């Protein structure tokens, strides 16, 4: 919300300044000093204006950032606890652990499938990778899991 408030106030300042400076000094509704007419053109071409906008926004947002960091580190809410636990390393390990288990199961299946095929030297490879020169065929791996198909041992 602080971004919206900050940039909204800057935009409102420029809208007011622009409308005020473009008003004619002879206007019966709003009396403007003659020196203020067309001042907006001088303001928008000045580098001081843009440096002022950058300075004010950076100071305002840095103050807001410091306050929010102190609040989230010293006075945690339930939402802050949930966010911090989402990025916890243990949570990542809990998500990574099932992948390790799948790898162990595939490795065990590959080793048992290798014992079906009489190979002199154990070749390492992916069971379904045709480009890598697989150590076992895909049908042998399927036979390990499908009990309906007879297991064929090659002599």
123 vs 134: CA distance, rounded Å: 8
User: Is the residue at 152 inside a domain?
Assistant: no
Q: Are residues 82 and 7 in the same domain?
A: yes
Total count of domains within the chain: 2
| Domain termination residue (choose one: 86, 115, 134) | 86
If asked whether residues 68 and 98 sit together in one domain, one would say: no
Position 121 pLDDT exceeds 60: no
Q: Tell how far CA 60 is from the center of its chain.
A: 25
Residue 38: pLDDT band with limits 50, 70, 90: low
Q: Which alpha helices (H) appear in 76-146, and where do they start and end?
A: 78-86, 89-116, 138-145
Residue 127 β-bridge partners? none
Same domain flag for 28 and 76: yes
Is 26 inside a domain boundary?
yes
Domain-terminating residue out of 42, 66, 86: 86
Final residue of a structural domain among 69, 86, 103: 86
Q: Is the pLDDT of residue 51 over 80?
A: yes
- pLDDT digits over 68-107, tens only? 888 878 887 887 777 777 666 555 555 666 666 666 666 6
Residue 118: give the domain boundaries: 91-145
Q: Is residue 151 part of a domain?
A: no
- At 64 the pLDDT is 81
Q: In this model, does residue 125 exceed pLDDT 60?
A: no
% of the chain beyond a pLDDT of 70: 41
At residue 28 the predicted structure's pLDDT band, cuts being 50, 70 and 90, is low
């Amino acid at each position: 919300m602080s971004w919206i408030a900050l940039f909204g106030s800057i935009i409102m300042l420029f809208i007011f300044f622009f409308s005020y400076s473009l008003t004619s000094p002879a206007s019966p509704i709003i009396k403007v000093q003659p020196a203020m007419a067309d001042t907006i053109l001088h303001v928008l071409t000045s580098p001081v204006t843009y440096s002022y906008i950058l300075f004010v926004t950076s100071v305002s947002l840095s103050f807001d950032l410091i306050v929010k960091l102190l609040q989230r580190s010293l006075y945690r809410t339930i939402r802050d606890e949930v966010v911090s636990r989402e990025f916890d390393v243990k949570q990542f390990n809990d998500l990574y652990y099932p992948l390790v288990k799948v790898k162990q199961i595939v490795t065990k299946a590959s080793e048992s499938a290798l014992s079906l095929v009489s190979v002199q030297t154990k070749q390492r490879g992916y069971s379904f990778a045709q480009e890598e020169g697989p150590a076992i065929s895909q049908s042998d791996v399927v036979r390990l899991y499908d009990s309906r198909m007879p297991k064929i041992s090659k002599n």
